[in-house]
């Protein structure tokens, strides 16, 4: 009996010992696994931190060239930013986020830049036409719209050398860093003309109106005027601004007719009346401005009304003038009873504003806001700039000719 009790006690003791240490046959296994998991977590965190650091460095380099002032360091900064971007992995590129930087800065496909011509060649000759644009980093639009206008002017005036300048250094830097395409700013273009012995200079702005960009252009032209025998500046697309919303001119009428006809055709209708009968309203979205030239947008709406284009509306990204804001245009179209909407830019180029502010997928794009309003059965977009329309090119050609033949 005593042996049986002792055996039971020994069995119980051995069971207790196993519960405390025998578990899986190795008391160190649990702690080893824990240490391994901790090491993996630490390594993963360090890798993530390294990825973010690399992305942040590229974002800082992009922000450094997202500026309107060119310096002696700009060329190197553009090269450094692109080299640093190219060194990132695909995963790191997605992490790039700065004040202005994002993965689209270098990563977005905007077309083939090799089809463009920066028109910065020397040996210009004595007669130069300098075509000045705000600019765009969207390659396809730069070729179709800006180069389209330049080519038309060159074809019309073969005895003159057409050259290019952009007024937006931010865009110049973007194109240079991403594509290694070097476009002159206004000062560089004027210096190039002087260095090449140009005597007669004609400046043709592709700007829509006599706005802030036009004023800055004139400041630069006036600073160099005494270096040429003659300097003449042609009208922008919409001509003189005028005193109030009711003042229109031949340029505004021509633009209204040409743009509307092209838009109606692209939408698949035989006429504006046919589109109207189908309940379609067309919206032409400009940039907008706080400059006094903003009256030009109101004048364009007046011109549409005068032409009987009841289903054509003018809007602006900036909402200046107020009646051109997205909300105001949505209300006006809804009250008029149109159930289908076609959006198209009232801009020389179909660049960032057309692709993002108008037709983008973000909640605040015009496409999204019109759709979210619930007032319309369909909302479509046409992403084309004014500059690629032959009739619009002809207006610029005529403006250039007007000053050449003065």
What residues are annotated to the active site? 287
- Residue carrying the six token digits 């479509």: 380
Q: How many CB atoms lie within 10 A of CB 272?
A: 21
Two tokens, residue 392: 């619009």
Cβ within 8 Å of residue 212, ≥6 positions away: 289, 291, 293
Two tokens, residue 230: 């003659």
Q: How many CB atoms lie within 10 A of CB 294?
A: 22
HSE value, Cβ hemisphere, 13 Å, CA-based, for 78: 20
**Inter-CA distances, 14 with 9, 24, 161, 213, Å:** 9, 15, 102, 91
Q: How far apart are CA 187 and CA 191, in angstroms?
A: 6
Cβ within 8 Å of residue 353, ≥6 positions away: 285, 287, 317, 345, 347
Cα 106 to chain centroid distance, Å, stands at 13
Q: How far apart are CA 108 and CA 93, in angstroms?
A: 12
Question: Are 136 and 349 spatial neighbours (Cβ–Cβ below 8 Å)?
Answer: yes
């Amino acid at each position: 009996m005593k042996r049986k009790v002792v055996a039971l006690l020994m069995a119980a003791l051995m069971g207790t010992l196993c519960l405390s240490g025998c578990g899986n046959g190795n008391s160190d296994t649990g702690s080893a696994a824990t240490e391994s998991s901790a090491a993996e977590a630490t390594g993963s965190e360090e890798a993530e931190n390294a990825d973010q650091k690399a992305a942040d460095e590229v974002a800082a380099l992009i922000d450094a060239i997202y500026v309107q002032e060119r310096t002696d360091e700009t060329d190197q900064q553009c090269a450094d930013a692109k080299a640093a971007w190219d060194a990132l992995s695909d995963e790191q590129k997605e992490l790039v986020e700065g004040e202005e930087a994002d993965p689209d800065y270098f990563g977005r496909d905007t077309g083939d830049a090799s089809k463009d011509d920066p028109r910065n060649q020397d040996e210009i000759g004595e007669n130069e036409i300098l075509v000045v644009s705000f600019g765009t980093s969207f390659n396809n639009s730069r070729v179709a719209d800006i180069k389209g206008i330049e080519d038309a002017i060159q074809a019309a005036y073969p005895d003159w050398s057409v050259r290019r300048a952009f007024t937006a250094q931010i865009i110049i830097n973007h194109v240079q860093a991403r594509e290694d395409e070097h476009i002159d700013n206004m000062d560089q273009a004027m210096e190039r003309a002087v260095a090449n012995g140009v005597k007669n200079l004609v400046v043709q702005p592709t700007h829509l109106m006599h706005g802030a960009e036009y004023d800055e252009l004139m400041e630069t032209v006036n600073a160099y005027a005494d270096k040429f025998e003659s300097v003449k500046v042609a009208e922008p697309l919409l001509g003189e601004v005028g005193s109030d919303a009711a003042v229109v001119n031949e340029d505004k009428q021509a633009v209204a007719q040409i743009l509307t006809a092209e838009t109606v055709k692209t939408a698949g209708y035989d006429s504006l009346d046919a589109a109207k009968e189908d309940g379609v309203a067309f919206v032409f979205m400009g940039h907008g401005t706080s400059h006094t030239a903003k009256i030009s947008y109101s004048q364009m709406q007046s011109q549409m009304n005068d032409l009987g284009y009841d289903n054509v509306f003018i809007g602006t990204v900036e909402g200046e003038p107020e009646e051109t804001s997205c909300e105001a245009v949505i209300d006006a179209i809804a009250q008029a009873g149109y159930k289908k909407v076609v959006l198209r830019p009232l801009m020389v180029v179909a660049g960032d504003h057309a692709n993002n502010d108008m037709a983008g997928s973000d909640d605040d794009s015009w496409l999204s806001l019109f759709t979210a309003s619930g007032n319309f059965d369909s909302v479509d977009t046409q992403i084309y700039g004014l500059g690629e329309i032959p009739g619009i090119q002809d207006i610029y050609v005529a403006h250039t000719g007007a000053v050449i033949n003065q």
